[in-house]
Amino acid sequence: MADKVALVTGAAGGIGEAVVRTLAASGAVVAMVDRNADRLEEVAERVRESGGRAEAFPADVTDSAAVEAVVERTERRLGPVAYLVNGAGVLRLGQARALSDEDWAATFAVNTTGVFLVSRAVVNRMVERRRGAVVTVASNAAGTARVDMAAYSASKAAATMFTKCLGLEVSRFGIRCNVVAPGSTDTPMLTALWDDGAEQASIDGMPSAFRVGIPLGRIARPQHIADAVVFLLSERAAHITMHGLTVDGGATLGR
């Protein structure tokens, strides 16, 4: 990965930051994309202080023109994008029949349309070069029904299948597209929603919500997810495409 350019969306978040740090430690030059410009620059500065190479590119992944512009700017400044990580995501909880129009639209705008817009902009350039690798960070909820997570689960299922279809279409150009599906992970997006004891309840399981526990007995750390993402981008996964790698400690029982 030395000196190759990686573009990571959601780079200011917990999993996104871990992916950025892991890619930078592997020698990649990382273009960090997120709406949170201040947080983005803080993370980039810490990466540089650690000897890595990363630049902040604030942008909204739900804005088609902004996405095209940020990808163009990235390639002008850093060089051709070799790796794409679709890491931007939002979580809106609520019963399926009680979700607001705004909750539904906002969830799909980031989790699904954002994946489409960024992938289209980057992969169209990869096709011309006949090489590249894409990983979309989805969720184990994309394949397992969850109470209060209808919008999130549906949006991640759509992003998962989009990524696999994209991978099928561009495989003839030497481009690989894979999915990493985390379970409960210790990130601000998740922990901000927890009440006291919620972490242990996730580990133990909640029969009232039709959830088994986590067989490995712990919540994932962002680094666990980042390691899976970077593996699928790397040459160690050179013959893997259209694959979904679940990283949830067994919470979905190997589905």
Q: Which residues are catalytically annotated?
A: 152
Helices (H), 171-195: 188-191
Name beta bridge partners: 55.
31
Q: What angle do CA 197, 200, 203 make, to 5 degrees?
A: 150
Residues 6+ apart with CB under 8 A from 160: 136, 138, 142, 143, 179, 181, 244
* Cα angle, residue 194 at apex, residues 191 and 197 outer, rounded to 5°: 115
Interior angle at CA 118, CA 112 and CA 123, nearest 5: 120
Instruction: Answer yes or no: are the C-beta atoms of 253 and 247 closer than 8 Å.
Output: no
Burial class (CB in 10 A: 0-12, 13-18, 19+), 143: middle
